[in-house]
């Protein structure tokens, strides 16, 4: 819902914590997040890309005398137990007590890692999520999932630890590259497939591709790409993209916080997508892997006879419009990808469960709590056609 007296800020109050979406909201942190003033000390966890851009503003707003800043290297390769240990040791060395607050300032990697630090430090202290990438705003910062990666796969060690608030300042999107914006649009398209066909089409129309210019990530990994998005999206459209995804994801999390049923639908594209990320050693961005995963998993659903076949070309066109790839990397075998899905958190009794669409705007498998087991041969055939 819109905040009183303002058309520029949307506040979602579906969850126990508020989600603020708007331009310039970082400057109002203390007035919109009471937990800041309740904290005796504040640990701002960021990375070496985001820190120089926004850490000073956040520290000045919170109060420099209370802040300890911990900076990590950027990228998924650093979302590890080793980084978790280093950050936790830094907080201990600074003697932060249980009346402290962790502030996660950055993209999804920082949000996941800082959230896990907060979940485990002194058996749990509050965390405030300040996402600065489109992907983190529309997805990673919402829902309380925290964690780190291991050599066996992505997000295999973690905890549910909801934030005290999420504050998404749309002004931070101005410093993103076109590829980073495209990556966020992948998760937004996912939400549209899951729950809202109208929103899906609005996101697709927001993605404008410059044909023939391959992104660095997909080119190096042999992934077919539609090009790099020009991302000439007006501020009002960014607000619609972010607030639309926030509303969809918040409603799902509100209905099923611990992923026992409906929340599994948020994993659409992620079983294959996470396998690709792991096999490619996180050299290809999350959104690009999820885009490929959504296409592959749509083909799986069609092969099983539970999905309208018309979804595949519609989804492919939308992904291309957002400059996202739809084909599996030429550098990987389909057998390796299927093998890598075996380490997924959704594996049950040795069979991997998938979140699969029924049609644009609706997911299949309500009678099975949205986790659909799929045999290896069906997945292999779907990937071979991708």
pLDDT confidence of residue 214: 44
C-alpha closest to that of 358 among 287, 308, 288, 290? 308
Catalytic residue among 79, 161, 191, 259: 259
Is 254 an annotated catalytic residue? no
Please report where in the chains the tokens 């980084």 appear, as a residue: 83
- Is the predicted pLDDT of residue 322 greater than 80, yes or no? yes
Least confident of 185-189, 230-234, 277-281, 377-381: 230-234
C-alpha closest to that of 79 among 3, 145, 164? 145
Give the Å distances, CA to CA, from 265 to 187, 188, 286.
12, 13, 18
308: left (phi over 0), alpha (psi -120 to 50) or beta: beta
Catalytic residue among 79, 190, 249, 345: 249
**Confidence band, pLDDT 50/70/90 cuts, at residue 137:** very high
Q: Cβ of 313: how many Cβ atoms within 10 Å? A: 10
Cβ atoms of 53 and 200 closer than 8 Å: no
pLDDT confidence of residue 385: 75
Q: How far is Cα 165 from Cα 17, in angstroms, rounded to an integer?
A: 5
Q: How far is Cα 106 from Cα 330, in angstroms, rounded to an integer?
A: 32
Partners of 72 in the β-ladder: 47
Is 281 an annotated catalytic residue? no
pLDDT confidence of residue 216: 46
C-alpha closest to that of 130 among 99, 149, 102? 102
Catalytic residue among 20, 154, 181, 270: 270
Partners of 311 in the β-ladder: none
Give the pLDDT mean for 332-352: 81
- Is the predicted pLDDT of residue 60 greater than 90, yes or no? yes
Q: What is the pLDDT of residues 195-228, one digit of tens each?
A: 999 999 999 988 764 333 445 455 455 555 544 4
Tell how strand 165-169 and strand 209-210 pair up: unpaired
Is 249 an annotated catalytic residue? yes
For residue 131, the Cα-to-chain-centroid distance in whole angstroms is 10
Give the pLDDT mean for 276-305: 96
Give the pLDDT mean for 150-179: 95
Is 286 an annotated catalytic residue? yes
Cβ atoms of 169 and 266 closer than 8 Å: no
Tell how strand 67-72 and strand 100-106 pair up: unpaired
Is 161 an annotated catalytic residue? no
Q: What is the pLDDT of residues 23-45, one digit of tens each?
A: 999 999 999 999 999 999 999 99
Is 267 an annotated catalytic residue? yes
Cα-Cα-Cα-Cα torsion 153, 250, 239, 322, nearest 10 degrees, comes to 40
Catalytic residue among 154, 161, 191, 267: 267
For residue 263, the Cα-to-chain-centroid distance in whole angstroms is 14
Q: pTM, whole model, 2 decimals?
A: 0.92
The strand ranges marked E within 107-247 are 127-131, 145-150, 153-160, 165-169, 209-210, 228-229
Supply 174's token pair. Answer: 């101005």
Supply 244's token pair. Answer: 């639309």
Q: Cβ of 229: how many Cβ atoms within 10 Å? A: 26
Give the pLDDT mean for 122-140: 98
**Confidence band, pLDDT 50/70/90 cuts, at residue 266:** very high
**Confidence band, pLDDT 50/70/90 cuts, at residue 343:** confident
Q: How far is Cα 230 from Cα 192, in angstroms, rounded to an integer?
A: 21
Select the more confidently predicted residue: 124 or 236: 124
Task: Give me the chain's average pLDDT, please.
Answer: 91
Cβ atoms of 135 and 183 closer than 8 Å: yes
- Is the predicted pLDDT of residue 293 greater than 50, yes or no? yes
Q: How far is Cα 343 from Cα 314, in angstroms, rounded to an integer?
A: 30
For helices 197-206 and 178-195, what crossing angle results, to 10°? 160
Catalytic residue among 145, 181, 190, 191: 145
Query: Could you say which DSSP state residue 4 is in?
Result: T
**Confidence band, pLDDT 50/70/90 cuts, at residue 8:** confident
pLDDT confidence of residue 7: 47
Select the more confidently predicted residue: 2 or 360: 360
- Is the predicted pLDDT of residue 233 greater than 90, yes or no? no
pLDDT confidence of residue 208: 60
- Is the predicted pLDDT of residue 95 greater than 80, yes or no? yes
Helix (H) or strand (E) holding 192: helix 178-195
Cβ atoms of 332 and 273 closer than 8 Å: no
Question: What 3-state class would DSSP assign to 282?
Answer: coil
Half-sphere exposure of 325 (CA within 13 A, CB side): 30
Supply 342's token pair. Answer: 């075996």
Q: What is the pLDDT of residues 113-130, one digit of tens each?
A: 999 999 999 999 999 999
């Amino acid at each position: 819902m819109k905040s009183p007296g303002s058309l520029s800020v949307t506040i979602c109050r579906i969850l126990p914590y508020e989600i603020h979406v708007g331009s310039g909201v970082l400057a109002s942190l203390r007035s919109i997040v009471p937990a800041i003033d309740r904290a005796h000390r504040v640990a701002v966890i960021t990375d070496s890309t985001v820190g120089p851009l926004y850490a000073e503003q956040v520290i000045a707003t919170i109060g420099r005398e209370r802040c300890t800043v911990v900076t990590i290297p950027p990228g998924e390769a650093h979302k590890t137990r080793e980084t978790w240990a280093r950050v936790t040791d830094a907080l201990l060395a600074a003697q932060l007590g249980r009346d402290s607050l962790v502030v996660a300032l950055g993209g999804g990697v920082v949000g996941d890692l800082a959230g896990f630090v907060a979940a485990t430090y002194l058996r749990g202290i509050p965390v405030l999520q300040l996402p600065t990438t489109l992907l983190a705003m529309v997805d990673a910062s919402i829902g309380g999932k925290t964690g780190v990666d291991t050599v066996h796969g992505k997000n295999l060690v973690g905890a549910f630890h909801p934030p005290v608030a999420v504050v998404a300042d749309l002004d931070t999107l101005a410093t993103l590259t076109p590829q980073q914006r495209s990556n966020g649009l992948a998760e937004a398209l996912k939400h549209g497939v899951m729950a809202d066909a109208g929103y899906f089409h609005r996101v697709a129309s927001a993605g404008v591709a410059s044909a023939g210019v391959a992104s660095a990530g997909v080119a190096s990994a042999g992934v077919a790409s539609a090009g790099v998005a020009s991302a000439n999206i007006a501020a009002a459209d960014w607000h619609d993209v972010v607030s639309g995804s926030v509303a969809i994801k918040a409603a799902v999390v509100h209905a099923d916080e611990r992923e026992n049923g409906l929340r599994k639908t948020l994993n659409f594209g992620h079983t294959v997508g996470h396998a690709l990320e792991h096999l490619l050693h996180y050299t290809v961005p999350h959104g690009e892997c999820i885009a490929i995963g959504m296409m592959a998993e749509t083909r799986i659903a069609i092969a099983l006879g539970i999905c309208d076949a018309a979804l595949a070309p519609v989804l492919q066109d939308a992904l291309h419009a957002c400059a996202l790839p739809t084909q599996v990397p030429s550098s990987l075998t389909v057998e390796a990808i299927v093998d890598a899905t075996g380490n997924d958190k959704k594996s049950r009794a040795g069979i991997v469960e998938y979140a699969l669409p029924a049609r644009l705007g609706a997911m299949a498998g309500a009678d099975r709590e949205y986790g659909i087991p799929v045999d290896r041969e069906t997945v292999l055939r779907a990937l071979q056609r991708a």
